[in-house]
C-alpha cells in the first residue's frame, strides 16, 4: 500500500477507488487546504492527486520527499504544477484531457452568446426591477450568423467550440503551432492564420491555449488593440493569458465591444475595473463544472495515479 495525498474534495466514487488500494489522506473540506497544512500532509507521500487551486512547486516536492512518484492533476491545464521541478525529481505528472472538452466548449459557446446578445446585462435589468419595454432599438446586440470566430489555440477544446459555432453559422479561423490535419480542417472548414491576422479579422476571439510564460498576457493593450472595435474576447483558458487591466481599459474606451470571461488573473479576485462594466460577462471558472464532468475528471486523475503506483504507464503523462 502506498500513501496518497488528495489536496481537495473530489467525488466519492473516485476517492473510493483510491482507498480500495492505498492509504489515502484526503482534504475533504469544501474550503481550500492551507499551504502549511498541505506541506505538512505531503511529507512521506508516494503520490499526490492535486486540484488546480494548489501550487505544486519545488518547495512542496521537497517537503514530500524522495519517495514521491507522481502528481495527478484533476484538470487539463497544469500550470499550477512546476513540471521541470517534477522532472528533476523523477516525479511523473498527469492531467485529465478529453473528459472536460465538451463541458468547457459549452461554456465558451454560452459566453459567446451571452456577450454578443447582452444576456447578463438584460438579466440584471430584470433583477434590479428597472423599468423596461420592448423596443425596436432596445438592448440590441450583434448577430453571430455569418461572423468569424477566431480560435486561439486549436486543440481539443478549440475544435469542440468550432463545431458548436459552425452550427450557429459562424466561420472559423484559428491559430495553432502546426496547422490542423486535413480531415479536421475540412470538417471544421477552418482557416489557419497568424495571430495578428486572426485578431484583425475575427468578430469573436476565443482563447483555448495553455497558460505558460509564452502565453502570459498574450492578450494585452497591443494585441487587444489589433481586434475590431465591434469584436468580443472570450476566455475559458486561464486568466493570466489576458492582461485584465488592459482589457478593462479597452472595454471602457470602446476599443472592443465586449468580453466573456470564465477565468481571471488572480482567482478568486476579479479586477475591480471589470466589475462595473456592462460589456463584460463574468462567471466564476465554471468551464468543467458539471457533476458528470467533475466525476470523470476525478476518475481519470485517480486512474493515472493508480497506474503510476502499480508500475504501469499512466494514460495522461505530460511534460
Ligand atoms: C480547468 O480549468 C481545467 O484546466 O481542467
Task: Read off the pLDDT band of 164 (50, 70, 90).
Answer: very high
Mean pLDDT of 285-293: 98
User: What is the per-residue pLDDT for 319?
Assistant: 79
Q: In whole angstroms, what is the distance from residue 210 CA to residue 218 CA?
A: 11
What does the pLDDT look like over 219-271, one tens digit per residue?
Answer: 999 999 999 999 999 999 999 999 999 999 999 999 999 999 999 999 999 99
Share of the chain above pLDDT 70, in %: 100
How would you classify residue 305: left for phi > 0, otherwise alpha for psi between -120 and 50, otherwise beta? alpha
Other beta carbons less than 10 A from residue 9's beta carbon: 17
Mean pLDDT of 167-187: 95
Catalytic one of 238, 244, 271, 294: 238
Residue located via cell numbers 495578428: 196
User: In this structure, which residue's CA is closest to atom 4 in ligand 1?
Assistant: 77
CB neighbours of 194 closer than 8 A, spacing ≥ 6? 175
Residues with CB under 6 A from ligand 1: 52, 75-77, 100, 287-288
Residue located via cell numbers 426591477: 129
**Distance from CA of residue 291 to its chain's centroid?**
17
Query: Which domains can be identified in the chain, with CATH numbers?
Result: 3-97+291-309 (3.40.50.720), 101-282 (3.40.50.720)
CB 12 within 8 A of CB 32: no
User: What is the per-residue pLDDT for 272?
Assistant: 98
Beta-bridge partners for 72 = 49, 94
Residue 55's closest CA among 27, 80, 83, 86?
80
Would you give the DSSP letter of residue 255?
S
What does the pLDDT look like over 29-64, one tens digit per residue?
Answer: 999 999 999 999 999 999 999 999 999 999 999 999
| CA distances for 290 relative to 38, 105, 177, 256, 297, angstroms | 26, 12, 31, 31, 10
For residue 281, report the distance from its CA to the centre of ligand 1, in Å: 19
For the CA atoms of 251, 282, 242, 245, the dihedral, rounded to the nearest 10 degrees, stands at: 50
Q: In whole angstroms, what is the distance from residue 131 CA to residue 82 CA?
A: 52
Amino acid at each position: 500500500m502506498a500513501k496518497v495525498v488528495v489536496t481537495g474534495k473530489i467525488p466519492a466514487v473516485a476517492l473510493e477507488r483510491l482507498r480500495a488500494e492505498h492509504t489515502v489522506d484526503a482534504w475533504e473540506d469544501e474550503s481550500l487546504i492551507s499551504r502549511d497544512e498541505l506541506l505538512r500532509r505531503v511529507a512521506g507521500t508516494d503520490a499526490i492527486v492535486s486540484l488546480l487551486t494548489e501550487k505544486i512547486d519545488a518547495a512542496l516536492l521537497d517537503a514530500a520527499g524522495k519517495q514521491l512518484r507522481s502528481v495527478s492533476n484533476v484538470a487539463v491545464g497544469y500550470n499550477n504544477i512546476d513540471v521541470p521541478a517534477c522532472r528533476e525529481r523523477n516525479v511523473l505528472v498527469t492531467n485529465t484531457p478529453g473528459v472536460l472538452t465538451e463541458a468547457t466548449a459549452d461554456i465558451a459557446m454560452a459566453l459567446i452568446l451571452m456577450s454578443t446578445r447582452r444576456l447578463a446585462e438584460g438579466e440584471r435589468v430584470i433583477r434590479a426591477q428597472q423599468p423596461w419595454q420592448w423596443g425596436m432599438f432596445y438592448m440590441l446586440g450583434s448577430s453571430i450568423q455569418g461572423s468569424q470566430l477566431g480560435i486561439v489555440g486549436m486543440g481539443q477544446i478549440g475544435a469542440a467550440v468550432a463545431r458548436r459555432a459552425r452550427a450557429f453559422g459562424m466561420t472559423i479561423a484559428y491559430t495553432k503551432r502546426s496547422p490542423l490535419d486535413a480531415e479536421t480542417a475540412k470538417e471544421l472548414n477552418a482557416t489557419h492564420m497568424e495571430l495578428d491576422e486572426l485578431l484583425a479579422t475575427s468578430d469573436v476571439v476565443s482563447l483555448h491555449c495553455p497558460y505558460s510564460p509564452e502565453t502570459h498576457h498574450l492578450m494585452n493593450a497591443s494585441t487587444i488593440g489589433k481586434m475590431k472595435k465591434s469584436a468580443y474576447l472570450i476566455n475559458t483558458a486561464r486568466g493570466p493569458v489576458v492582461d485584465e487591466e488592459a482589457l478593462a481599459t479597452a472595454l471602457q474606451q470602446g476599443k472592443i465591444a465586449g468580453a466573456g470571461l470564465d477565468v481571471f488573473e488572480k482567482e478568486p479576485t476579479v479586477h475591480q475595473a471589470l466589475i462595473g462594466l456592462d460589456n463584460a460577462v463574468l462567471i466564476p471558472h465554471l468551464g468543467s463544472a458539471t457533476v458528470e464532468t467533475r466525476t470523470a475528471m476525478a476518475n481519470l486523475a485517480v486512474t493515472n495515479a493508480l497506474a503510476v503506483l502499480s508500475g504501469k504507464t499512466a494514460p495522461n503523462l505530460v511534460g
